Amino acid sequence: MTNNIYFIANWKMYGSTTSLNSLNKLINLSRLKKYKRARIIYFPPFTLIKDFVTKFKKTKISVGAQNCHQTENYGSFTGSISAKMLKDLGCNYVILGHSENRMSGETDFDINQKILSAINKNLKIIFCIGETIKEKRKKLTHHVLKKQINNGLKGVKNFKNIFIAYEPVWSIGTGIIPSKKDLENNVSKIKKLLTKKTKLKLQILYGGSVNSKNLSNLRNISGINGFLVGSASQNTKNFIDIIKKTII
């Protein structure tokens, strides 16, 4: 793996104010010299962002949000949160294009508007892409990834704050991970597309059922700069295990 290794904890719609107690062990680990290369970023639900920012204040662990509205400042959008509000809370990152949001109606156009608004507010973006099982079976994976990248990054001029999370939809929450061959093949395809488009080397993360048991398979995948971890990150002991088994 490369120099910096990213460990993204996506807590989805889980967690309460009492969940923060378990994070002390992780803070201690993040201070050890051995784990200097670990870039740990937490994405709690909106309700806990402020608590997480406070908790991680004197650490190098960052905090992000799991989504934002496409309007970058303020507006009459009941129940929504803008990039400006996230920045104001102390967030440095936002996840955009997660398949759980795509599945509830978020389009490539919406995601593109959100990416543009997050860039304007200087947030770093974890841009999720990935094919469904149906698309995989129809051998449409590369076509889908290309479409999601091109549509999502339309009009983007500054790519330095963009990270790509390759998350096959069929792997999220299922316990199934892609084969080494498939994963390396898809990551290399994504890299080629991005280099052509951005002239930069963007960081690429893998997400989908990452846990401490399958890490031995995943840590050797070439071209990956880290992991987006969902359910296994909600238990701090498991998340620590993932970090320890990656940086050995």
Active site residues: 98, 167
Residue 84 or 224: the one with the smaller Cβ distance to ligand PGA is 224
Q: How far is the CB of 196 from ligand PGA (least distance, A)?
A: 26
228 binds ligand PGA (CB under 6 A): yes
Residues 193-222 that bind ligand PGA (CB under 6 A): 207-210
| C-alpha pair distances (Å), 30 with each of 38, 60, 211 | 7, 7, 19
230 binds ligand PGA (CB under 6 A): yes
**Least distance from C-beta 233 to ligand PGA, angstroms?**
7
CB of 226 to ligand PGA, least distance (A): 12
Q: Give the whole-angstrom CA distance, residue 45 versus residue 222.
A: 31
**Contact partners, residue 171, CB within 8 Å, separation at least 6:** 130, 177, 178, 207, 208, 209
Decide: residue 158, CB within 10 A, 0-12 exposed, 13-18 middle, 19+ buried: exposed
Residue 15 touching ligand PGA (CB under 6 A)? no
* Interface with ligand PGA, residue 229, by CB under 6 A: yes
CA distances to 120, 121, 170 from 66, in Å: 17, 16, 20
Note whether 97 binds ligand PGA by CB under 6 A. Answer: no
Of 48, 83, 90, nearest in space to 69 by CA: 83
Instruction: Rank residues 10 and 70 by Cβ distance to ligand PGA and give the closer one.
Output: 10
- Give the residue at shortest CB distance from ligand PGA: 230
Interaction between residue 10 and ligand PGA (CB under 6 A): yes
- Tell me the window of 23-31, 33-41, 212-220, 223-231 that interacts with ligand PGA (CB under 6 A): 223-231
DSSP states along 28-75 = HHHTSGGGTTEEEEEE--GGGHHHHHHHTTTSS-EEEES---SSSS--
For position 231 contacting ligand PGA by CB under 6 A, the verdict is yes
Q: How many residues bind ligand PGA (CB under 6 A)?
A: 13
Instruction: Show Cβ contacts of residue 151 under 8 Å, excluding neighbours closer than 6 positions.
Output: 108, 109, 111, 112
Q: How far is the CB of 181 from ligand PGA (least distance, A)?
A: 20
CB of 64 to ligand PGA, least distance (A): 13
Encoded one letter per residue, x for contact with ligand PGA by CB under 6 A and - for no contact, window 150-179 reads -----------------x----xx------
Q: Show the 3-state SS of 115-148.
A: HHHHHHCCCEEEEEECCCHHHHHCCCHHHHHHHH
Q: Which residues bind ligand PGA (CB under 6 A)?
A: 10, 167, 172-173, 207-210, 228-232
